[in-house]
């Protein structure tokens, strides 16, 4: 598979799940902490699953907008995507993640919303990266 890269960014982490992460350009910086459910102390920091959920939800809205342009369907300004990311042991060993997206398209007819979501799922880079590797659920609220 070939990708014509239009944008590239770099971030680094130190200290693992109980450390710190930041982008190379300094526009994003976050303290990290391991959730109690994964054996950590919890705490004020974010965790990689939260960052993935935030990125996936924002990216999926972008994909909905692209799908809307392609399909000539209006995507409301107050569209909301909520991503829930889970992590746990896999039956095949190691750990895996799951993702569930709840898409709110206020005022959009159900059939049009379904078409937008299905098309966005084919466009979204996060969806393409996870396809075949991560169980992704899509729900229209």
pLDDT averaged over consecutive 10-residue blocks of the chain (141 residues)? 92 96 97 94 93 98 98 98 96 96 98 98 97 96 96
pTM: 0.94
If asked whether residues 59 and 128 sit together in one domain, one would say yes
* Cα distances (Å, whole numbers) of residue 100 to 26, 46, 74, 113: 30, 19, 23, 17
Find tokens 């059939």 and name the residue.
111
Whether the CB-CB separation of 96 and 88 falls below 8 Å is answered with yes
Predicted local confidence at residue 115, as pLDDT: 98
- What is the domain range of residue 65? 48-140
Task: State the total domains in the chain.
Answer: 2
If asked whether residues 73 and 86 sit together in one domain, one would say yes
């Amino acid at each position: 598979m070939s990708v014509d890269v239009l944008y590239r960014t770099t971030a680094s982490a130190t200290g693992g799940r109980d450390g710190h992460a930041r982008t190379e350009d300094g526009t994003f910086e976050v303290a990290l902490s391991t959730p109690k459910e994964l054996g950590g102390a919890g705490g004020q920091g974010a965790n990689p699953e939260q960052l993935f959920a935030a990125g996936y939800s924002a990216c999926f809205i972008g994909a909905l907008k692209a799908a809307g342009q392609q399909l000539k369907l209006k995507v409301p300004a107050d569209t909301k995507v909520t991503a829930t990311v889970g992590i746990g042991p896999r039956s095949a060993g190691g750990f895996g993640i799951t993702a569930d997206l709840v898409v709110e398209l206020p005022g959009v007819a159900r059939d049009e919303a379904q078409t937008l979501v299905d098309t966005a799922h084919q466009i979204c880079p996060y969806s393409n990266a996870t396809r075949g590797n991560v169980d992704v659920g899509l729900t229209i609220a």
